[in-house]
Homo-oligomer: A and B are copies of this chain.
Amino acid sequence: MGRGRRPTEEVRRDVLDAAGALLLERGMGGFTIDAVATRSGASKVTIYKLWPSAGALALEGYFTAVEDTLAFPDTGDIEADLRTQLHAFVELLTGTSAGRIVAELIGRAQTDEHLLAAYLQRYSEPRRALAVQRLETARSHGQLRDGVDAEAVVDQLWGACYHRLLLPGHPVNRAFTDALVDNLFHGIHSAHGRLDAFPGGF
């Protein structure tokens, strides 16, 4: 690295690449501005100018490293689509180091307002919106009970997974997400059992 100026876009890309790689290798524990600066060849001052906090940089680096393609399917069957989406979600969380990194990003976001804002805006809220939208479509097709709070459903499916991700000790797998869907679609109350529990009809 010479002493003079380099094009901003080149620097920006180098820093994001380094940040993503560092995150995948060592997690948020070893993620420091100094380390990113050394690895990327950029100057600390430049990094401080381009990102408001180390957390915000980490989040953007994460997106650079992990192409985040969790499309939301719509086959017309809301229950099946939720299962499919949750299976893919579980796959992402457990198959790679993405689960640990996401947990650490959410963790640091609790004391880094810039990271929290970036996480909500770039990751969490768009995802929520997609899920709510799919649920509303299902409702308009008469597949959901009137009065169901779609936002609450999101918390009861993906939020439940995040709960186990952040406070480990219970598995996050297909059996779990299937149980989540079962509980919501079939209800947990014995007096409100499935209609097909009455094989002879009414």
A163-202 residues with Cβ-Cβ distance < 8 A to B are 163-164, 166-170, 176, 179-180, 182-195, 202
Point out the residues of chain B lying under 8 angstroms from A153, CB to CB: 183, 188
Partner among B110, B143, B168 whose Cβ is within 8 Å of the Cβ of A166: B110
Partner among B28, B142, B146, B166 whose Cβ is within 8 Å of the Cβ of A162: B166
Bound-state CA distance A153–B179 (Å) is 9
Instruction: Give chain A's interface secondary structure class.
Output: helix
Partner among B125, B167, B186, B193 whose Cβ is within 8 Å of the Cβ of A106: B167
A110 touches B119 (CB 8 A): no
Point out the residues of chain B lying under 8 angstroms from A155, CB to CB: 160-161, 163-164, 170, 180
Bound-state CA distance A62–B195 (Å) is 48
**A124 CB–B CB distance under 8 Å:** yes
Point out the residues of chain B lying under 8 angstroms from A74, CB to CB: none
Partner among B28, B164, B184 whose Cβ is within 8 Å of the Cβ of A111: B28
Known: A149-B179, A152-B179. A184 touches B190 (CB 8 A): no
**A50 CB–B CB distance under 8 Å:** no
B164 touches A159 (CB 8 A): yes
A189 touches B144 (CB 8 A): yes
Give the 4 A-B CB pairs with smallest separation, nearest first.
Answer: A107-B110, A159-B163, A187-B187, A155-B160
Chosen A-B contacts, 24 in total, with CB atoms closer than 8 Å, are: A28-B110, A79-B189, A104-B110, A107-B111, A110-B166, A125-B169, A143-B191, A145-B189, A149-B179, A149-B182, A151-B170, A152-B179, A152-B183, A155-B160, A155-B170, A155-B180, A156-B160, A158-B163, A160-B160, A162-B166, A184-B188, A186-B187, A191-B195, A192-B194
